[in-house]
Amino acid sequence: MPNYVALIYSPDVDWSRPEYSDEMAAYGEFGQAAVNVIRGGAVLYQTNTATTVRVTGGKGGDVVLSDGPYAETKEALTGFYLLECADLDEAIKVASMIPAAWNGAVEVRPVLLMEAPTPDSVEARRAEARASSVTT
């Protein structure tokens, strides 16, 4: 089954504040309703905690930092879900149940999942690379 991310664009606020408890409860309800398709997700801290990293002059060049998110927008990327759905229609249906869709926006995109590297898998890849450099 294809995987999708649902990127949540909403007002850039501190979701832990008490005035957002209703909204957080709505997210809790969504989480329960969509339990069969949610494979992961996260709430992002506010954009004023973000640091944008660029390396000028290509790989190995100077690291240039800027304080803030990549793009300043009225609504910010404030969270995401990872969904596993049958098709785009199902992903859209699920996305439309996310509270941000009602007052902000949710962007649905297909994703190709990568396995997170572990020390073992890194070592295996190194060995593979060595072996192929010997044969050629």
Partner 1 sequence: MLAEVLRRERRQVLASLTRLTGNLDLAEDAVQEASIIALRTWPRTGLPPNPRAWLIVAAKRRAIDELRREAIRPGKEREAITLALQRAPDDFPIGVLRDDQLRLIFTCCHPALAAEAQVALSLRVLCGLTVAEVAGLLLIPEPTMAKRLTRARGKIAAAGIRYRVPDTADLPERMRAVATTVFLLFTEGYASRSNGLHERRQPCEEAIRLGRLLVALLPGEAVLEGLLAAMLLQHSRREARFDDAGDIVLLGDQDRSRWDRALAAEGVSRAAEAIRLSSVVPERFAVVAAIAACHAIAADAAATDWRAVVAWYDVLVLLDPSPVVLLNRAAAVAESGEPAVALAEVEALEGLEEYFWWHASRAELLRRLGRSGDASAAAKRACTLTKSEAQRRLLARRYGETVTGR
Residue nearer to partner 1 on the CB measure, 91 or 101: 91
Is residue 89 a contact residue for partner 1 (CB under 8 A)? Answer: yes
Q: How far is the CB of 55 from partner 1 (least distance, A)?
A: 29
- Three-class secondary structure assignment of the chain: CCEEEEEEEECCCCCCCHHHHHHHHHHHHHHHHCCCCEEEEEECCCHHHCEEEEEECCCCCEEEEEECCCCCCCCEEEEEEEEECCCHHHHHHHHCCCCHHHHCEEEEEEECCCCCCCHHHHHHHHHHHHHHHHHC
Q: Using CB under 8 A, count the residues that bind partner 1.
A: 11
Is residue 86 a contact residue for partner 1 (CB under 8 A)? Answer: yes
Which member of 40, 42, 43, 87 binds partner 1 (CB under 8 A)?
Answer: 87
Residues within the interface to partner 1 (CB under 8 A): 2, 4, 85-89, 91-92, 109-110
